[in-house]
Amino acid sequence: MQAMNCPHLSLEKVNEPYFEELKEAAWRVISSGRYIGGDEVSSLENEIARHCEAPFAVGVANGLDALRLILMGYMEMGRLKRGDEVLVPANTYIASFLAISQAGLVPVPVDPDYTTMNITGSGVRRFLSPKCKAIMPVHLYGRVAWDEDMANLVADRNMIVVEDCAQALGAKSGIAGLHGSLAAGGIGDAAGISFYPTKNLGALGDGGIVVTHSEELAATVRALANYGSFKRYQNEYVGINSRLDPIQAAMLRVKLRYIDEVNRKRNELASVYESAIDSPFVAKPISGKEKECVWHQYVIKVPGHRDELKRYLLDCGVGTDVHYPCPPHRQPCYKDLAHGELPVAERLADEVLSLPIGQYLSAERVSEIAEIINRLGK
């Protein structure tokens, strides 16, 4: 059989349908003479807020800054203080941990559920301490991490909920959030969203946004991201410089119009994998309820054979990736971080494998990839 040419993701193919609109959007900003802030940024903020069923949004430079600024904002508002603990999935990307640490808070890794690969309300209870003041559910791989147990837990303990929504824009929860929203990004008190190019809604560079239900937090974050200043040359906080570029905002506004279609196509491709993969080596992700997952990644588990399958697929011309090969608590920078036993996170790091699921793929191509996987098990 002739080898495929199927990388894990092609950003050129992701953006190809919008080339003309993207060029027009970039030219609109170039010809406006406004290269910091402006109408494109404020318009995107309004559009993302509506999409997340929340009233406020603030554009920033990237997803890490979005999370960090939320936590800094709550500290300035007196809701958090240095040394407070924040519960966070042990199997997340390290940016979630870094945002907590850089804000002067302490990440508390929580072992996820093996089946969903997300944290659950019942699962976080054994990691609680009196110093836990906030929780950061990460909607990993595009699947909403929110359930009734978590909703009850945070209500009982009056905890702040900061969603890491980097991978799940457009996903919907079956359980209403703290303020009535079902949309990822609007479930908690605030959310940090990344527009890194590989995301379902990705920039042609980098970008991020804070979404929140709190007018006070939105204003505080906006000031913190502007050198700590509400008013020019008057600095209330020790802030940072974190801006969403207006050219990126303009291009994101183009792509936002298509995000529901993108997520629908990815869901269709996930369904093809679900029905076509039939291997004793592979555990497929659960399908879940409609729109509960937007399939930023299609992540299978391959106990004992992950690296073998990865090499075999590459030999057949199929690119894959591993999200993530080393949990943050095992990284050198967190060697002194105290944590409990985290067997599921460490097991997942050895087993997970992300298959191609770019929305430009055909169902036939995905079926072919599934057949290659099935051959290894025969």
Task: Flag whether pLDDT at 251 surpasses 80.
Answer: yes
CA-to-CA distance for 125 and 109, rounded, in angstroms? 12
Q: Is the pLDDT at 191 greater than 60, yes or no?
A: yes
Tell whether the model's pLDDT for residue 262 goes beyond 60.
Answer: yes
User: How do residues 44-80 score in pLDDT, each as one tens digit?
Assistant: 999 999 999 999 999 999 999 999 999 999 999 999 9
Is the pLDDT assigned to residue 148 strictly greater than 90?
yes
**Residue 35's pLDDT is what?**
96
Q: In this predicted structure, what is the pLDDT of residue 22?
A: 98
Given pLDDT bands bounded at 50, 70 and 90, which one contains residue 2? low
* pLDDT in the model for residue 4: 75
How confident is the model at residue 59, as a pLDDT?
98
Phi then psi for residue 140, to 5 deg, are: -70, 135
Supply the pLDDT for residue 179: 96
pLDDT at 369 over 90: yes
What is the model's pTM? Answer: 0.96
Percent of the chain at pLDDT above 70?
99
Q: What is the percent of the chain with per-residue pLDDT over 90, rounded to a whole number? A: 96
Mean pLDDT, rounded, of the chain: 96
The predicted pLDDT at position 378 comes to: 65
Express each pLDDT in 195-242 by its tens digit. 999 999 999 999 999 999 999 999 999 999 999 999 999 999 999 999
Angle of CA points 234, 239, 242, to nearest 5°: 110
Q: How far is CA 337 from the centre of its chain?
A: 23
Q: Is the pLDDT of residue 287 over 90?
A: no
pLDDT tens digits, one per residue of 101-139:
999 999 999 999 999 999 999 999 999 999 999 999 999
The pLDDT of residue 289 = 80
pLDDT band at 96 (very low <50, low <70, confident <90, very high): very high
pLDDT of residue 377: 64
pLDDT at 1 over 60: no
pLDDT of residue 98: 98
Give 317-355 pLDDT, tens digit per residue.
999 999 999 999 999 999 999 888 999 999 999 999 999
Residue type, 221: V
Give the Cα separation of 109 and 25 in Å (integer). 41
Domains recognised in the chain with CATH numbers: 13-110+118-256 (3.40.640.10), 259-376 (3.90.1150.10)
Query: Cβ(238)–Cβ(248) under 8 Å?
Result: no
